């Protein structure tokens, strides 16, 4: 990049960088990125120096910084920290994605037991029975 462009954002997470780039473009900012192709080749494997960098023209630098600051502030407001494992979760999560702690009652021992079999509704058994009967009839008629 030349001296007329400044680095305004970087991330090793290509999804976060893409969201920020789209947000800036939606606000009318001309954004140029560097590192997207290398990051897409490596996939989910992080490599040293695999940062995606976003650049804007110096004329749009101040408004861009304000947009980024506002976006990052909103992102922090939509996240809570699990008191059990200290992992970040979005506020619309009812349970921590990492430890399954109930975020609505964070200090209770209300973790989801993923091994526990949940009762199936009665309609499930009826639908399954009908499906099996239809499948057997169809297979019988194909002979």
| pLDDT > 80? residue 56 | yes
Mean pLDDT across the chain: 79
Q: Which CATH code, of 1.10.1060, 1.20.144, 3.30.70, 1.10.3720, is assigned to 5-77?
A: 3.30.70
Q: What is the pLDDT of residue 106?
A: 60
What gap in Å lies between CA 133 and CA 131, rounded to an integer? 5
Enumerate the β-bridge partners of residue 56: 6, 31
**pLDDT, tens digit (0-9, with 9 covering 90-100), for 61-119:** 999 999 999 888 877 777 888 888 888 888 788 888 888 888 877 665 544 444 555 55
Find the helix or strand (DSSP H, E) in which 79 lies. Answer: strand 79-81
SS3 87: coil
SS3 57: strand
| pLDDT > 70? residue 122 | no
Joined together, the tokens standing for residue 33 give 């990125």
The answer to whether the CB of 98 falls within 8 A of the CB of 85 is yes
Share of the chain above pLDDT 90, in %: 26
| pLDDT > 80? residue 39 | no
């Amino acid at each position: 990049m030349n001296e007329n462009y400044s680095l305004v954002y970087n991330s090793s997470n290509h999804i976060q960088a893409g969201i920020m780039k789209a947000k800036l473009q939606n606000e009318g900012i001309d954004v140029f990125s560097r590192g997207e192709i290398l990051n897409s080749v490596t996939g989910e494997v992080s490599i040293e120096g695999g940062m995606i960098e976003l650049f804007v023209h110096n004329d749009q630098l101040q408004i861009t910084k304000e947009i980024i600051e506002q976006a990052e502030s909103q992102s922090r407001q939509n996240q809570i920290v699990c008191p059990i494992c200290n992992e970040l979760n979005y506020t619309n999560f009812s349970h921590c994605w990492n430890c399954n702690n109930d975020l609505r009652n964070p200090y209770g021992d209300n973790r989801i037991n993923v091994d526990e079999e949940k009762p199936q509704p009665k309609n499930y058994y009826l639908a399954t029975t009908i499906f099996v009967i239809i499948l057997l009839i169809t297979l019988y008629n194909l002979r």
